[in-house]
Amino acid sequence: MHSKTLADIARGLENKEFSSVEITENYLQRIKQFDPEINSFITTTADQALAQAKQADKKRAENNATLLSGVPIAHKDIFCTEGVKTSCASKMLDNFISPYNATVIEKCESAGLVMLGKTNMDEFAMGSSNETSYYGPVKNPHNSNCVPGGSSGGSAAAVAAGLAPAATGTDTGGSIRQPAAFCGITGLKPTYGRISRWGMIAFASSLDQAGPMTQNAEDAALLMNVMSGFDPKDSTSSEKPTEDYTANLNASLQGKKIGLPKQFFTQGLNADIEQSVRDALSVYEKLGATLVEIDLPNADLATPAYYVIAPAECSSNLSRFDGVRFGHRCENPVDLEDLYKRSRAEGFGEEVKRRILIGTYVLSAGFYDAYYLQAQKARRLIKDDYLKAFEQVDIIAGPTTPSTAFALNNQHKDPVTMYLNDIYTIAVNLAGLPALSIPCGISNDMPVGLQLIGNYFAESELLNAGHQFQQNTDWHKQALAKSMR
């Protein structure tokens, strides 16, 4: 039962093959049995999940159910959830019980989805390996000696291990797509503003975007139908109408132009990854698409620009965690300054402190023009490169990551090497574009991810391309067959 997709579960519930209570109990038992090894969950909400499942079964009996009523899901522990600990995997928020629901949580509850619990992540979403969590690292279900990627590593691992059929994640510089690639699942980073950020604890407000992490593109489309839409509570939410993201999944790819940036296939890309990606692109050619080489001349500016802008925004956003209103507070402060200093020193981990310091530095009066302003100019150049490319092609394709999942404790102490793991994903966030990662191969027993990048609000086109690839290959099934417990 745990290998069923969201679509499978929805059909099974509709046909009364099993109840929501039965499948929810199955997942809760699997979490209890297997998660001590993987550490993908911070909090399991068993009582709440069973109550929601019973309510969903009642609604189905009354013919008053939605498509996904009673289907289980896990949520990244960055989304505020009423009455449930929302920690952002930090000691700073270890004691924080949210008094309200994030819009993403509210939308999932309104659709009848059953919350299994809150998943582990890099602290305040800062990391590419899920090793910065206050609750310990998450293990990759394919190989417990390897990282699952970050920051949404707990969500990716939970889906890959069959502990949840789907999960929510957030993507600031690749934090949905990179762990999706490392764990062999499907992950979609939507257009900036497509899904509300209200109630999602902010890391970098101009970059953060929520999205679905699922077994396949069809399931991602189902979750997009639930999660997306305008939210008046979020000033950055797009008013552009949403669409049915499942409607065009089976559309033909005949005549589609897929752009291949020459900057994505250079030194630094693992040879096996490149071969898997090129093999995947040949599948698209057989489906009627045309491959076109394109140029993104400012691609090399993405990583340095990101690691100026993101820390700057994090420095501002995390200033609210001061030990006064909520979160960790030091013992017996002697005065207000001591309260601030010790609460923040004790509450934040090393990577978060590092980024706060960098961000504060680049925003300071003497360095704002030299660093932050220049990074924003580079960001505009990167965006313009993509806009120009989309005048020639429909989709841009390449590897999601330069390598497969690396070993635990291998890069944790080398921040620069760690940052370079997001080299193919960061520019998408700087430009605000949507992008999809799907499994496209296996190298040394670890999954390989193919990244598809679309123009603004082209999620439906990306999901169509992902679904067609998965209808004609079985890499997503092979990856899950290896990782599920």
Catalytic residue among 40, 128, 155, 175: 175
3-class state of residue 326 by DSSP = coil
- Cross-strand partners of 214: 166, 186
Annotated active-site residue 151? The verdict is yes
**What phi and psi, each to the nearest 5 degrees, are found at residue 371?**
-115, -65
- Cis omega (within 30 of 0) on the bond before 151? yes
**Cα–Cα distance measured from residue 7 to residue 68, given in angstroms and rounded to the nearest whole number:** 8
Amino acid at 471: Q
Amino acid at 385: D
Q: Where are the beta strands (DSSP E) in 103-157?
A: 114-119
Select from 350, 329, 327, 326 the least CA-distant residue to 341: 329
**Cα–Cα distance measured from residue 276 to residue 473, given in angstroms and rounded to the nearest whole number:** 12
Catalytic residue among 128, 151, 196, 228: 151
Catalytic residue among 4, 76, 107, 139: 76
| Helices 6-14/217-227 angle, 10° precision | 70
Q: What is the distance, to the nearest Å, from the Cα of residue 340 to the centroid of all Cα atoms in its chain? A: 32
Select from 118, 116, 120, 93 the least CA-distant residue to 37: 120
CB 251 within 8 A of CB 243: no
For 165, the enclosing helix (H) or strand (E) is none
CB atoms within 10 A of CB 335: 8
**What phi and psi, each to the nearest 5 degrees, are found at residue 210?**
-80, 155
First to last CA, the chain: 12
**Cα–Cα distance measured from residue 480 to residue 485, given in angstroms and rounded to the nearest whole number:** 9
- Cross-strand partners of 453: 396, 435
**Cα–Cα distance measured from residue 156 to residue 6, given in angstroms and rounded to the nearest whole number:** 15
In 3-state terms the chain splits into helix, strand, coil percentages (rounded to 5) of 45, 15, 40
**Cα–Cα distance measured from residue 346 to residue 342, given in angstroms and rounded to the nearest whole number:** 6
**What phi and psi, each to the nearest 5 degrees, are found at residue 346?**
-80, -35
Annotated active-site residue 76? The verdict is yes
CB 77 within 8 A of CB 42: yes
Contacts of 254 (CB under 8 A, 6+ apart): 287, 288, 289
Q: Side-chain half-sphere of 296: how many Cα atoms within 13 Å?
A: 31
Q: Are strands 290-294 and 166-171 parallel, antiparallel or unpaired?
A: unpaired
CB 447 within 8 A of CB 142: yes
Q: What is the set of active-site residues?
A: 76, 151, 175
